[in-house]
Chain A
Amino acid sequence: MAKIITVTSGKGGVGKTTTTAAIGAALARTGDKVVVVDFDVGLRNLDLIMGAERRVVYDFVNVIQGDARLPQALIKDKRLDSLFLLPASQTRDKDALTEEGVDRVIDMLSQHFDWVICDSPAGIERGATLAMRHAEIAIVVTNPEVSSVRDSDRIVGILDSKTLKAERGETVDKRLLLTRYDHARAARGDMLKTEDVLDILSLPLLGIVPESPDVLRASNMGVPVSIHDPDSAPARAYRDAALRLKGENIAMEIPRQRGGLFSKLLRRAA
């Protein structure tokens, strides 16, 4: 049976889809069978971040409505044999996802994969609550910025009340992933520090992903950032986070950009 992870945040634009793709690819690179599922019906983007946008034939809604079988809708990653994508529908609206439909699909997926990673839409509406419904682990993606922290706190409350685990009287294992972190600005006192956010939200820390141009570069290319440039700081941060999810004890650090001025110049020229 698979471990089911939901990547969530409440606020939009903090890095949920980037995180889903990056953690999915990092886990698949360790040999595990991984499926990433896009719950953002009407505004799908995981396909684009994974570089699979031209290979979408059937989607999540087609499977729920019986117009396609699950294997027909799953897209195999071009780079990693054990990584699959279940895209959301772009043309339907959010009500096309039903509780029973989602239950059925997640159940089938969890029989065939080691990890099912659900990419939640922003907000706290139906799509978001359906995405977190089956979660055993929730990755709460947060930027060190007031509105993101506030929305994360709200999402934590919803994770504690509206998931299957909550209904059974259990709790979802919630982990904080701090993204777009700028160490220099935090050190200057112009950005919330990791400890500030941890204090306020009181969640265990899964990782710190530094602000980096590599994230945009990877998304431009349609490659999960964790495998695009494996030496880049965000790639290392996401790989460490993935290993922590697998239970490995990896020391927490904020990866910095490696290399000196010369390699930076080379990188820029490339």
Chain B
Amino acid sequence: MTLWKRLFPSTSAPQARERLQILLSHERQVLGGGDLLARLREDILAVVAKHVPCEQDNVKVRLERGTPMSILEIEVEVRGDVGLAASRAA
């Protein structure tokens, strides 16, 4: 094993690269686009949560910048198949 490791040392840089790519794609969603996306996310969460149970992590706001247009993508995950009828009744 030791000899094997010495002959074929495993490298750590690919792990660093992969971890960073996953982490930053998440952080850019949360923090990216300056304050705009963070504010949008909070407002959307507040509005949705008024009507159906919804957690902070389940609101995803993505902004794909481009020319001539950008795409604002909003994805809200709501638990179960719930809610809509029940909350209307309530």
- The chain A residues found within 8 Å of chain B, CB to CB, are 145-146, 149-150, 153-154, 157-158, 160-162, 166, 186, 188-193, 196, 199-200
Contact = CB atoms under 8 A, between A and B. Distances in A.
A188 B11 contact: yes
Interface of B: 9, 11-14, 16-17, 19-21, 23-24, 27-28, 31-36
A189 B19 contact: no
Among B9, B14, B20, max chain A CB count under 10 A is at: B20
Given A157-B34, A160-B34, A200-B21, A190 B11 contact: yes
Nearest to B10: A189
A192 B13 contact: yes
B13 A193 contact: yes
16 contacts: A145-B16, A146-B19, A150-B20, A153-B24, A153-B27, A154-B31, A158-B34, A160-B34, A161-B36, A188-B9, A190-B11, A192-B13, A193-B13, A196-B16, A196-B17, A200-B20
A145 to B, nearest CB: 8
B27 to A, nearest CB: 7
Given A154-B31, A157-B31, A157-B32, A189 B20 contact: no
A154 B27 contact: yes
Nearest to A186: B13
A161 B20 contact: no
A189 B11 contact: yes
B14 to A, nearest CB: 7
Contacts of A158: 34
A157 B13 contact: no
Contacts of A146: 16, 19-20
Given A157-B31, A160-B34, A166-B34, A190 B21 contact: no
Contacts of B11: 188-190
Contacts of B32: 157
Contact of A196 (B9, B13, B27, B33): B13
Contacts of B28: 153, 157
B10 to A, nearest CB: 8
Nearest to A191: B13
Contacts of B13: 186, 189-193, 196
Contacts of A191: 13
A186 B17 CA distance: 12
Contact of A192 (B16, B23, B27, B34): B16
A50 to B, nearest CB: 34
B20 A149 contact: yes
A153 B28 CA distance: 8
B17 A200 contact: yes
Nearest to A188: B11
A199 B18 CA distance: 11
B53 to A, nearest CB: 31
Given A157-B33, A158-B34, A200-B24, 4 more contacts: A150-B23, A161-B33, A190-B11, A199-B17
A189 B11 CA distance: 5
Among A186, A189, A191, max chain B CB count under 10 A is at: A189
